[in-house]
Structure 1
């Protein structure tokens, strides 16, 4: 990495969302703590600091309405939980019942999404801290309330000063993940890599793109102020967001039969030129994604114009040397690359000239249909109170485990800070087995490394003020990496806690030893609890495969409508595209989690990989055909509609094969298997509709095998 790039990365980190948020959160927490401790108000200082800290844990990226709703619910929930917990403290049997019921109820908030899920987790942590700290009166509830209101005021001020801040970061992240996907696309032209590895990387990269796009939709489309027609900045950012999502479709549309491309152009030098051009486009996207959100002056544009011009000239020279058939393929690919470059330049120009850029007129889209559903309704929560619900099973698992840990602490003398066992359990246990196991490893590793760091710090630093500064720095690091690198955040959290307890708890070095065995006990209990009311990913595979096939069928219907000459319904088309992207991401995420489950529960089948790859190819081909239609490139719409109908019929048959009800193999299964596995000629490969039919047939054969595997 050159020096310029290193400086750029450091600058991006220091001005990025995670560090600046962490700095604000840390200052919001330590400021009231420092003032109150300086005034000799130790109990209020602990209560206010804890209240601010817990509200900060729920402060996720979102609109001002999101933050207002989450913070209001959290403050009221924390106040109620603290009242109930303090009232139950003198009665161990009642406290046990409170542990179970509050843990169960707060965990069920996962039904409302990640925001209220974090609020529920923070409420459980608060209950555990109250049990461990054992406050003497109800004033502690008021201190918690004051801490929450203090942090809420700071958060609102921050959003008032920079209302579009999170939206800009969401756009940046969507561009960055699309840049990563574009880099993966370059690998398909590298003959040293297998196509299977390339497709696996593309599917994983697509999942990250889909997550970023969904986050962008959530922040943009549900922000009434930004979406208002009179908000010029909002309309500019809406245009950029649309172009960013459309750009991803354009990138997926660069799809061919890569076996054919590799064999046909391996010795011409075309593959190397394509790789270089794609990587230069990716470099441009990276540059655009790294624009400073608060810059008040136009920044320098992209830097690859000259290089791309030279590579384009060389590519055009190669095209002239090819025969007509191959020249047509390369010309189409070059046209796609130029179109991607034009879109990147438009996004770059728009972001650098927000105040005077002219937003082009476009077809009206009904944006409300794209916003993720986030409503707080009782029926949404009540519907999950059944044993078949993964959320209820997770909540029951966590509640039983917390009650077990509480009873364990009542029966055995585990130490002064035994409540850290419960904290460890709550932090580690997640709805999915794979996430729990991953958190278990990260928690154990991070705690042990953090303890080593704390021991070194306490050995060499004896000054109280310096130790407090280090504790603040560790808290800053914790919040910086809490959402992105859990291991790093745990490493930072451990010495921070040890330093504070060492200074104000008069615990001496014995606390360090207790922290080690508390973590070991908590990790062991959390790991054992993963087998309690489990919800295995393998049980969802059949459903997710069917949902993805349904989405691709719907996407094909929109292609058929376009071929029929009907006016394009942009909203319906983009909704179909979104459904396919989310279906691919959901299946990929679930499959990756399943691979980390116990061997006897995971379905490790080559056909699952193949099914994902084929559906990825199918959606890419459909996107490519939509692009061709937009350029009026269809010569025979009637014949093309018939071929699309044939593919839809094959996909519908595939859907029936994955029907969960028992079904015997039909007599023509083997015949279809034989006919659809024949090799295709080069001329057939060049016909996109024939390739579409071929992929459809392969999906059907794959479903024949999956029917047995997933039964």
Structure 2
């Protein structure tokens, strides 16, 4: 279950705060307007506020102002344009299609532009039903703009007052997702769960976690000016360090299950991971409540049980029984668990200390860690070609809206064509899988919303009750729109139908007509989801190349760090973040492809294994960092660096060959000894006495083996995708 769907955490989440801010702004603007004007004027002002409110998301204040200002200007221009065209039917239809196409082209600017696209299409559909004279159009647009500016001012004021609170909530969400990530890792120790299925779950959760961590970075690292901000920065940095330690816990779970199937230590390992997840959740919960966090969980019983199992395994080894591998793996896990428990303790402490300055890289440029967005006309112009997925999506929406308008004109009853168009706009998304999910949520949500509204009108038809339900649905709509769209669809259906009932009471066909319009819009959107469709397999070569290219740079930065080059791990953190983002993008594409028709799916198993192997490379590097830290005493720097340099050359060479398979040539600087073989390297290095040799050698062997598997799966993907 998503953390925000739990009642314990729901009312502290930024989703609920967004709903309250949204509802208070809309209701407040409407009530103030009603003091000076009639209901029609108030509704126009309210719709202006609503369009701006669609852009009200957790963002840095400067970004929020720019995004909401863009919504005010764009939606006001669309309102005026549609109002002026409304008296001329053919001109209105042509303008609706053209605006639909142009609004969808804004998707080139990424995820941030999606609410702006929706706001533009929403006000386009709301304005198409009203025929006005030219003076009336300007007055109508002026009232709309007043409402939009009023909500902009209100939202910026509230966001400024709550700017630190929003940072806490977004950081807490990332911590909750990290706890969910550990819960999945805990089940690796449970023999009831299939290891391959667990890896798939882990990679999917890693995609979600990467997105939440990026949201946290964007808010926290852009501006940290006082001691309160310094605390959230420190908690954020501890969270990222903890994440790397958790990555390093990847081990040979099959060996553990094989050798320890009859031992209670597997359940102990599961329980201690479960405890760690709850411990992190306690930090997240404290952060959401603006409180400091204190450690209340003890790992001592589980650690004692692991120590007892290690003694038993050592006795078996001493007796000549084959348990050496299980002993080494369990001992390594014990050491990593201790490090994780210590880091969780530091996470608690980070929430307690009042810092005088931000404990981060004070002289470093945070730009590479942050989402960069440029709104340039050239980006749209560069996509005006038929092979562009965005261009095809824009054409698809424009054609669907054209058909929706034609169907609405032929219906025997007084159809509200704007409802059909709005349904098409909401359902039809850039990818087939998103369209499929949104269609299901929209239809189910509308049906439930209509049934609930019918019950309200029949049994609770009192002004006070309807007003209360309207306010609740207004809060619920933005709260769930990014959390569970189906719930948002229920709320928005209730809200709009009750508003229509208040404006025009006695219309017995209101609900039936809205249901019919929804089904028509859904049918048109479904039909056009196959027209000029952009199937996920078409983007796979680009995504694979991006993963390989970023992974190559990550490996280079990692080995530079492991060999002690550079004064800090700043470059390593940047490349790790980029690799996780690229893996998350590929993983999301794979998940979307699985929702597409079977004939459009390509290399599913190999892509999944390719993602897992790249993920494992990150885990091996994290483990190497942990080993070198843990065995830093008497570290033979020259010998270890020679081994690392040799491994670096091998792994980079493998990734470079994989890139060549995808049509990209890479020139690599060699750091190792070109004439040395694996056997020679392995024979030479252990002559220097050091306790960490077996662990480093084993982890490097795993690193190279997983790199070899990357090129195998890359070849298979090329074979499956290229012919298509």
Per the alignment, residue 688 of structure 1 pairs with 699
**Relative to 1, partners in 2 of residues 1:290 and 1:199: Cα closer, same or farther, differing over 3 Å?**
same
Taking the aligned partners of 2:705 and 2:464, their CA distance within structure 1 comes to: 71
Per the alignment, residue 286 of structure 2 pairs with 291
Taking the aligned partners of 2:149 and 2:181, their CA distance within structure 1 comes to: 42
Does the CA-based 8 Å contact 2:415-2:517 persist in structure 1?
A: no
Per the alignment, residue 295 of structure 2 pairs with 302
Per the alignment, residue 646 of structure 1 pairs with 650
Taking the aligned partners of 2:17 and 2:100, their CA distance within structure 1 comes to: 32
Tell me the CA shift for residue 335 of structure 1: 1.9
Taking the aligned partners of 1:322 and 1:364, their CA distance within structure 2 comes to: 49
Taking the aligned partners of 2:465 and 2:360, their CA distance within structure 1 comes to: 59
What secondary structure sits across from 2:122 in the alignment? helix
Q: CA RMSD in A?
A: 2.5
Tell me the CA shift for residue 72 of structure 1: 1.0
The answer to which of 638-647 and 449-458 deviates more is: 638-647
The answer to which of 318-327 and 83-92 deviates more is: 318-327
The answer to which of 173-182 and 603-612 deviates more is: 603-612
Taking the aligned partners of 2:586 and 2:79, their CA distance within structure 1 comes to: 40
Tell me the CA shift for residue 411 of structure 1: 4.8
Does the CA-based 8 Å contact 1:320-1:327 persist in structure 2?
A: no
TM superposition score normalised by structure 2: 0.88
Unaligned runs of 5+ in 2: 318-323, 666-693
Does the CA-based 8 Å contact 2:409-2:417 persist in structure 1?
A: no
What secondary structure sits across from 1:376 in the alignment? coil
Per the alignment, residue 246 of structure 1 pairs with 241
Does the CA-based 8 Å contact 1:548-1:583 persist in structure 2?
A: yes
Tell me the CA shift for residue 276 of structure 1: 1.0
Taking the aligned partners of 2:539 and 2:81, their CA distance within structure 1 comes to: 38
Per the alignment, residue 457 of structure 2 pairs with 458
Per the alignment, residue 384 of structure 1 pairs with 383
Q: Deviations over 1:518-539 (max 9, x none)?
A: 0010000001111222111001
The answer to which of 358-367 and 269-278 deviates more is: 358-367
Taking the aligned partners of 2:16 and 2:146, their CA distance within structure 1 comes to: 25
Does the CA-based 8 Å contact 2:30-2:42 persist in structure 1?
A: yes
Q: Deviations over 1:374-426 (max 9, x none)?
A: 12222233222222222222122112222232233345555242310001001
Tell me the CA shift for residue 8 of structure 1: 12
The answer to which of 154-163 and 78-87 deviates more is: 154-163
Correspondence list, 1:377-456, <5 A: 377-456=376-455
Q: Deviations over 1:581-605 (max 9, x none)?
A: 1121111100010111122111253
Per the alignment, residue 542 of structure 1 pairs with 541
Does the CA-based 8 Å contact 2:168-2:288 persist in structure 1?
A: yes
Correspondence list, 1:560-579, <5 A: 560-579=559-578
Taking the aligned partners of 1:314 and 1:60, their CA distance within structure 2 comes to: 47
Tell me the CA shift for residue 133 of structure 1: 4.1
**Relative to 1, partners in 2 of residues 1:470 and 1:134: Cα closer, same or farther, differing over 3 Å?**
farther
Does the CA-based 8 Å contact 2:181-2:206 persist in structure 1?
A: yes
What secondary structure sits across from 1:687 in the alignment? helix
Query: Are 2:169 and 1:169 aligned?
Result: yes
Q: Deviations over 1:146-177 (max 9, x none)?
A: 11111112111112212222221121111111
What secondary structure sits across from 2:532 in the alignment? coil
Tell me the CA shift for residue 545 of structure 1: 1.9
Per the alignment, residue 263 of structure 1 pairs with 258
Query: Are 2:713 and 1:702 aligned?
Result: yes
Does the CA-based 8 Å contact 1:96-1:407 persist in structure 2?
A: no
Q: Deviations over 1:574-624 (max 9, x none)?
A: 111112111211111000101111221112532222222222222211221
Per the alignment, residue 312 of structure 2 pairs with 321
Per the alignment, residue 207 of structure 1 pairs with 207
Per the alignment, residue 154 of structure 1 pairs with 154
Taking the aligned partners of 1:567 and 1:417, their CA distance within structure 2 comes to: 65
**Relative to 1, partners in 2 of residues 1:40 and 1:361: Cα closer, same or farther, differing over 3 Å?**
closer
Taking the aligned partners of 2:212 and 2:399, their CA distance within structure 1 comes to: 35
- For 1:83, which of 62, 72, 80 is the aligned residue? 80
Unaligned runs of 5+ in 1: 662-682
Taking the aligned partners of 2:5 and 2:664, their CA distance within structure 1 comes to: 53
Does the CA-based 8 Å contact 1:257-1:685 persist in structure 2?
A: no
Tell me the CA shift for residue 359 of structure 1: 6.9
Taking the aligned partners of 2:409 and 2:456, their CA distance within structure 1 comes to: 34
Taking the aligned partners of 1:613 and 1:560, their CA distance within structure 2 comes to: 21
Taking the aligned partners of 2:4 and 2:117, their CA distance within structure 1 comes to: 40
Tell me the CA shift for residue 569 of structure 1: 4.7
Tell me the CA shift for residue 142 of structure 1: 1.2
What secondary structure sits across from 1:567 in the alignment? coil
What secondary structure sits across from 1:15 in the alignment? coil
TM superposition score normalised by structure 1: 0.90
